[in-house]
Chain A
Amino acid sequence: MNQNATQFLTLVRREILRFVRRPYNTFLPPIITNALYFSVFGVILGSQIGEIAGRSYLQFVLPGLVVLGAISDSFENASFTIFHGRWNDYIQAVLTSPMSNRSMVAAYVSASALRGIVTSLLIIGVGLIFTSVSVPNPVYLVSFLLVITTLFGGLGVIGGLWSSDFDYLTVMNQFILRPLVFFGAVFYSLEELPEFWGSVSLLNPMVYMVNGVRYGMIGVTEIDPNTSLAVLTGTTVVVLSIDYVLFRRGYGLAE
C-alpha cells in the first residue's frame, strides 16, 4: 500500500473508531429519537392525517427523517472532530505529519459521510418496524445519500474550522440545519402549502434532498430528481474545494 493510502486510511480508521466505540453518543440517539417520531407522528397522528401522494403518512415522512439523521450526523461528526481536535490541540498530530491537505480533507469528510450513511440505515431499520417501503429507485436512494452525507461532511469541516467555542457547533446544528430540514418538506407535501410559501420552499436546499431520497425510497417526488442530484453534486464539489483551500491556508489550524 502506498504512503498516501496508508495516511488516508489511518485517519479514516481513527475517525470511525472514535464514533463506533461510543454508540450511546452516536448511534443510539437517532434510533431512540426516530422510534419516538414514528410512534407519535406515524402511528398516533398519522392515522388521522391520511395518505399523501398515495402513500401512508409514515411512508411519506420516513425519507425526510432519514435525511434529517444523515445530514445532522455527517455534519456533526466533521464539525465536532475538527473543532474538538483544535480545542485540545491534538489535531496537531495530523497537521504536523506529512499527510497532504487533500488527504486530510478526504479522510475527515469520508468518515463523516460514513457515519451519516450508518445513521440512515439505522433510521430505515427503525422505520421498517413501523411501516414498509418498496425502494423502487435504489440507485437514486444510494446516490442521494452518498451526495448529501458527503456535502454535509464537507460543510461540517468548514463549521469545525470556523468554530471558536462549543456554542458555535450548537448554533449551526440546532438553529440553522434543523429549521431548514423541518421546513424542507419532511413532514408535509409542498402542494399543501399556499403557492407563495411553496415557491419560497424551493429556495431551501433540504427540499431537494428530501425529495430525492423520497423518490428513491417510495417513488414519490415533487422535483425532478436528476436536476436535484446534479445541483447537489455540483454544490458538494464546491464545498470540498473550499475545505481544501481552507486546509491549505491553515484557516483555524495554523497561526
Chain B
Amino acid sequence: MTEPAIRASGLQKRYGDVQALDDLDLTVDQGEFFGLLGPNGAGKTTFINTLVGLVHKDRGTAEVFGFDVEDDYREARDRIGVAPQEFNVDRFFPIIEVLEHKAGYHGIGRAEARDRAEDALKTVGIWDKRDTRFDWLSGGMKRRFVLARALVSDPDLLILDEPTAGVDVQLRHDLWEIINRMNDAGTTILLTTHYIEEAERLCDRVAIMDDGQKVEVAAPDDLMARGTDTIVLELAEMPRTAPRLDVEGITDIELTDEGLAVTAMGGSQTAPSIMRELEAQGHTVTSLDIRRASLEEVFVDMTRDDREYAEVSA
C-alpha cells in the first residue's frame, strides 16, 4: 500500500500556556494538493515546522512518506522542500550560490547543484538576478527565490507557508502556475494560505484548523455545499411582508431592495421547491439568482474568533 505523503496522529505541542497543536490527526495523500486554512495562531506553521524538524513535538507521531520526522529525520527531510513565510535566506552569498549550497546540503554534487540552481532560478523567472544578493531583490523576487530554494532539491513534498502573502496579482498567478505544474508532475503540495480564493482555486482538499485542532477536512466544493446559499427572487408584484414558505432547508426569508432573499442550505436543490411554493401562493417569479456560500463564509462559521477573521480578510 502506498504510504501517505503526510500522516500525523495525536500530535501535540505546547508553548507555555498555549496549546499550539492539540491532538492533531491529519493525512495528506501522495500527489495531493492540500490546503491548510485557519486564523492566526491556529497551529499551521507549528505543524509545518514539526515536519521539517524546527519544532520538537511533545506527543504523537508525524511521518513523511512513511518516515518518522524524528527517528528517520534524514529520510523525511530529504523528501521535503519548504518555502517558509518568513525570509530566512543566507545574505552572505549571491542567490545562485545559496541555491547551490541548499542542493549540496541534500547531498547533490557541485556540478549538478549548479545545474539545478540555474534551472530553479529559470523556473521562477529570476535567472538574470543569479549573481545578486537576496537583500537587493524586490519583494516579489524574494518570494520567487524562496520558492526556487524549495524546488532545488526536487522534493516529493513541497510545503508552502503562505507563498503569496503580500504579492501582487500578476505574481500570485505566476506562482500558482508554477505550483500547479509541480503538482501536475506528481509533487505533493501542502499549502497554508490566508487567501481563501487561493485554496478554492488550487486545492484538492483543505483542512480547517483552529486552536491547534483540525476542525474539518474536505474538498473546497464539499465545504461550500455545507454553507448556506442566498436565493434572490424578483416577483412581478412584491408583497409588503415576506411570505411564509414551508420548504425544508430554509433558514431565513427577508425582503430586500433586490427582491425576496431566501437563505437556505443547498440553494440549487431548494430553489425549485421555493418557486413552486411561491407560485402556489399566487406570486409570479420574474427572475432568480442563487448566490453560493463562499469558502470564506464557511471558514468563518467553522472558526471561532471573528476578530481574527477580520485580520485574515484584511
List the interface of chain A (C-beta within 8 A of B).
1-4, 6-7, 9-11, 13-14, 17-18, 21, 85, 88-90, 92-100, 250, 253-255
Known: A92-B54, A92-B84, A93-B105. 6 other contacts (CB 8 A): A7-B106, A7-B107, A10-B101, A17-B93, A90-B88, A98-B74
Residues of B within 8 A of A (CB): 15, 49, 52-56, 73-75, 77-78, 80, 82, 84, 86, 88-93, 97-98, 100-102, 104-109, 113, 149, 153
Q: How far is the CB of B85 from chain A (nearest CB, A)?
A: 11
In the assembled complex, the CB of B131 is this many whole angstroms from the nearest CB of chain A, namely 14
In the complex, are the beta carbons of A254 and B77 less than 8 A apart?
no
Q: Which 9 residue pairs spanning A and B have beta carbons closest together? A: A10-B104, A3-B107, A89-B88, A97-B105, A98-B78, A98-B74, A96-B52, A90-B90, A98-B77
A95 and B102 contact, CB distance less than 8 A:
no
* A250 / chain B contacts, CB cutoff of 8 Å: 53, 56
Q: Are B54 and A11 in contact (CB under 8 A)?
A: no
Q: How far is the CA of A89 from the CA of B54 in the complex (A)?
A: 11
What residues of B have a CB within 8 angstroms of the CB of A254 in the complex? 53-56
Q: Which of B53, B75, B109 contacts A96 (CB 8 A)?
A: B53
**A7 is contacted by which of B80, B92, B104 (Cβ under 8 Å)?**
B104
- Which B residues are CB-close (under 8 A) to A10? 100-101, 104-105, 113
Shortest distance between the CB of B110 and any CB in chain A (Å): 8
Contact of B102 among A3, A6, A93 (CB under 8 A): A93
Option from A1, A2, A18, A98 in Cβ contact (under 8 Å) with B75 = A98
Interface residue from A6, A17, A89, A99 paired with B109 (Cβ < 8 Å): A6
Q: Collect the chain B residues with CB atoms within 8 Å of residue A253's CB.
A: 54
A177 CA / B65 CA spacing, docked (Å): 47
- How many angstroms between the C-alpha atoms of A254 and B284 in the bound complex? 67
Q: Is the CB of B91 within 8 A of A97?
A: no
Most chain B CB atoms below 10 A, which of A96, A253, A254: A96
Q: How far is the CA of A2 from the CA of B109 in the complex (A)?
A: 9
- Chain B residues with CB below 8 A from A98, complex form: 73-75, 77-78, 105-107
Chain A, Cβ-Cβ closest to B87:
A89
CB B298 to nearest CB in A, in angstroms, measures 31
Say how far B49's CB is from chain A's closest CB, in angstroms: 7
Cβ–Cβ contact A14 & B101, under 8 A: yes
What B residues does A13 contact at CB under 8 A? 104
Please state if A255 and B54 are interface contacts (CB–CB under 8 Å). Answer: yes
Contact of B106 among A14, A21, A89, A97 (CB under 8 A): A97
Look across to chain B and name the residue whose beta carbon is closest to the beta carbon of A101. Answer: B73
A97 and B77 contacting across the interface, CB-CB below 8 Å: yes
- Which of A93, A99, A255 is the one whose CB lies under 8 Å from B90? A93
Q: List 15 A-B contacts (CB under 8 A).
A: A11-B105, A14-B104, A18-B93, A89-B86, A90-B88, A90-B89, A90-B90, A93-B90, A93-B102, A95-B54, A96-B82, A98-B75, A98-B78, A255-B15, A255-B55
- B105 near A99 with CB under 8 A, answer yes
Q: Which of B55, B89, B101, B153 has the most CB of A within 10 A?
A: B101
Min CB gap B36→A, angstroms: 18
Taking a contact as CB atoms under 8 Å apart, the answer to whether A92 and B88 are in contact is yes
Residues in A neighbouring B93, C-beta threshold 8 A: 14, 17-18
A94 touches B105 (CB 8 A): yes
Contacts of A2 in B (CB 8 A): 107
B107 lies within 8 A of A4 (CB):
yes
Q: Which residues of A sit under 8 angstroms from B52, Cβ to Cβ?
A: 95-96
Q: Once bound together, how far apart are the Cα atoms of A35 and B217, in whole Å?
A: 69
Q: Is the CB of A96 within 8 A of B80?
A: yes
Whether B109 lies near A1 (C-beta < 8 A) is yes
Chain B residue nearest to A9 in the complex (CB): B104
Chain B residues whose C-beta falls within 8 Å of the C-beta of A3 in the assembled complex:
107
A92 and B48 alpha carbons, distance in the complex (Å): 13
CA distance A253 to B149 in the complex (A): 20
In the complex, are the beta carbons of A93 and B88 less than 8 A apart?
A: yes
B21 CB → nearest A CB, Å: 12
Name the residue of chain A whose CB is nearest to the CB of B15: A255
Contact (Cβ within 8 A) B88 A88: yes
Of residues A2, A13, A89, A98, which shows the largest number of chain B Cβ atoms within 10 Å of its Cβ? Answer: A98
- Residues of B within 8 Å of A94, CB to CB, are 105
B55 touches A97 (CB 8 A): no
Which residue of A9, A14, A100, A255 is within 8 Å of B74 (Cβ)?
A: A100
In the complex, chain A residues whose CB is within 8 Å of the CB of B149? 93
B56/A6 in contact, CB under 8 A: no
